[in-house]
A = this chain, B = another copy of it.
Amino acid sequence: MRVAAIVAYDGTKFNGFQGQPKVRTVQGEFEKVLKRIFKQKVISWGAGRTDTGVHGYGQVIAFDVPNERMTLENIKDALNANLPEDIYVRKVLKVRDKFSPRHEATKRIYHYFIYQNDEPNIFLRDRVWWFPYDLNIEKMRKAAKYLEGEHDFTTFKTGNDDRNPVRTIYRIRILKMRNNIILIRVEGHSFLRRMVRNIVGALVKVGTENWEPEYIKEILEAKSRSKAPASAPPQGLYFYSVLF
């Protein structure tokens, strides 16, 4: 039986999602627990990578269950009883054999939280980007419109990523929440490395009125990484959900 776990994690103390030798990763911890529960190596597949410090809320991890007598509820409870305190399995669902979260995802949604206030809030320090300057939300929304649709996002990638730079963003919403929180919600098919954080960094440049909204169109069309502004920091970013 193949199952998919919907997984939340606090990215603060992980070297990102993807399993790698010798460093603490979400997938590494998850597979360690699968091995403990099932007494054998169990391979897992995630719906997307996240970098160090980036959080998961709706990450999807699929794996084959070697013990056919366990119910979905048993599997969820066994995982949560064994996982470290910074990973939590919200749900376990049965999926069809060969289901691949990465290849079959049709939409990925990221949430980015900015705490816009003169003074920082230490209780949110690993959860949001503290930003002590004013942001013009209307201008940010106007700028975001230029990024929606299918584009070559070369300008907005960072690091090693030699995949096709053409990606589709379905929608970017910018919402003022309570308590000085601004939520930037980015929905797309799939994303390049650091693409969401680079987009947020650029939108904030517009929000501070250092850049006009139209300048986003210009840097996008330049297809040049040197045009990209600094990435927004990782702790404000959440891999929120995946649709199939």
Contacts and interface: CB of A to CB of B under 8 A. Distances in A.
Interface of A: 8-10, 55, 85-88, 90, 119-123, 125, 127, 178
A86 B126 CA distance: 11
A123 B127 contact: yes
A125 B85 contact: yes
Contacts of A10: 122-123, 125
Closest 3 CB pairs of A and B: A88-B122, A10-B122, A8-B122
A123 B55 contact: yes
A79 to B, nearest CB: 13
A86 B127 contact: no
Contacts of A87: 122
18 contacts: A8-B121, A8-B122, A8-B123, A9-B122, A10-B122, A10-B123, A10-B125, A55-B123, A85-B122, A85-B125, A86-B122, A86-B125, A87-B122, A88-B120, A88-B122, A90-B119, A123-B127, A178-B178
Nearest to A8: B122
